[in-house]
Amino acid sequence: MIKFINVDKEYANGVKALSNINLSIGKGDFVFLVGPSGAGKSTLIKLILKEENPSSGRIYLNNMDITNVKNRRIPYIRRNVGVVFQDFRLLPNKTVYENVAFAMEIVGSHPKEIRRSVPTVLGMVNLSKKADCYPDQLSGGEHQRVAIARAIVNNPPVLIADEPTGNLDPDTAWEIMKLLRDINRRGTTVLMATHAKDIVDAMQKRVIEIEKGVIVRDEEKGVYEHEI
């Protein structure tokens, strides 16, 4: 589903963010991306989202070579990837329902389809009752659930979560993890960048660790830190 072959990324200012990255994430995988801040996790995600282009190497997404694509193709590539952020990024002047529907309007979905899909997805994230609430009436966990609903409403094959539990208390963080696990079980590939040691250790999923721009570990059913 996601494949990096010998990928290097050096920013224009000379900072080498990633070097010789090789990784392959299959369809339906659940992968944690761990490592200290500034190790290159964000850059890796930006490469998948085509916010940045690699300096060398090749990147594949959904069996497409996305290494070099024209700017006007980028939006269509992004439709294959749902994204969830630490800071939720909801629109404050839209209701929960509208925030989710917005993602469908952008890609030109039929209104009938929107009316059908949005309630279904809100049901999945357990927010049916809050459909008409505005973001400032929601708790942090609810915010993130709306963001997840928005990320998956267009059925992307890949979901990227960039520290989705970073702003949440432990109990709420676990709710979100369960939700991500459910989404993954339905066949969506999930790539989650995180610092949450307990979550990574408990989930027993594949762990890719990056340090100073290099993959230092890639193991199935891994834990957050090296065992010494």
Partner 1 sequence: MSMKFRVLKNIIKQGFQGMWRNKGMGLASITSITAVLVILGLVFIIILSLNNLVVDTKDKFDEIQVFLEDDINDEQISTIQNRLENQNGVSSVTFQSKNEALEKMKNDWGEEGYLLEGLETNPLPDTFIVKLKDIEYADEIAEDIKDLDGIDEVQYNQDIIEKLVLVANYVKTGGMIIVSILIFVSIFIISNTIKLTVTARKREINIMKYVGATNGYIRGPFIIEGVLFGLIGAMLSIAAVYYGYEYFFNTVSDRLYVLFTIYLVPPTILLKDIMTIFIAIGAGIGALGSLVSLRKFLNV
Per CB under 8 A, residues contacting partner 1 are 49, 71-72, 74-79, 83, 89, 91-92, 102-103, 105-111, 150, 154
Complex with partner 1: residue 17 or 90, whichever CB lies closer: 90
CB of 103 to partner 1, least distance (A): 5
Complex with partner 1: residue 111 or 123, whichever CB lies closer: 111
CB of 190 to partner 1, least distance (A): 16
What Rg do the C-alpha atoms of the chain give, in angstroms?
18
Decide: 206 and 221 in contact? Cβ < 8 Å: yes
Q: What span, in angstroms and rounded, lies between the C-alpha atoms of 6 and 10?
A: 13
Complex with partner 1: residue 19 or 80, whichever CB lies closer: 80
Complex with partner 1: residue 71 or 171, whichever CB lies closer: 71
CB of 45 to partner 1, least distance (A): 11
| Phi, psi (degrees; rounded to nearest 5) at 115 | -65, -25
Decide: 149 and 125 in contact? Cβ < 8 Å: yes
Tokens of 135: 């973001």
CB of 49 to partner 1, least distance (A): 7
Complex with partner 1: residue 98 or 175, whichever CB lies closer: 98
CB of 75 to partner 1, least distance (A): 4
Cα 36–40–42 angle (5° rounding)?
Answer: 100
Decide: 152 and 103 in contact? Cβ < 8 Å: no
Q: What span, in angstroms and rounded, lies between the C-alpha atoms of 27 and 184?
A: 10
